[in-house]
Amino acid sequence: MIEVRVRRRDGVPVKIAVEGHAGYADPGEDIVCAGVSAITFGTANAVVRLTGLDPVKEMGKSGSLHFHLPAPGEGVPSDRLRDARLLLEGMLIALKALAASYPGHVAVDDPEAPEGEGGGVVDRVDRGRASAERRDSGISSG
């Protein structure tokens, strides 16, 4: 099983560890492993490219990945830190959705998640609701 452990400070993720193997299929054919890899490495690359911060503190040969962000006041401009944290929150939402779809293969331990963020992830987009929200807010869909 792939285990994702999250540690937060003041409600925001500062350390995230991703370890293990999904065991959904044979190596090279495991779509759950591929999904976790795409989400985590895509996020790591986005954080580096968009904020200039490098959140990856450890990358193991077995596929483990450890993220760490500095705390506010540790010399990183607050806007870059905010952007990096937002990207990591997006990664956690995607990993929680994957864990909901593949229980027994992915688990996310995020006990300090702010209210409403610990669960309730969806495995599809409610396009009708999204369209209504765009319409109500005056945003054009085309």
- Catalytically active residues, by annotation: 21, 33
33 and 21 Cβ atoms separated by less than 8 Å: yes
| Structure-token pair, residue 110 | 């995020």
Ramachandran quadrant class, 75 (left: phi over 0; alpha: psi -120 to 50; beta: rest): left
User: How far apart (Å, rounded) are the C-alpha atoms in residues 52 and 22?
Assistant: 31
Quick one: DSSP state of residue 92?
Answer: H
Query: Could you give the count of Cα atoms lying within 13 Å of 15 in the half-sphere of its Cβ?
Result: 7
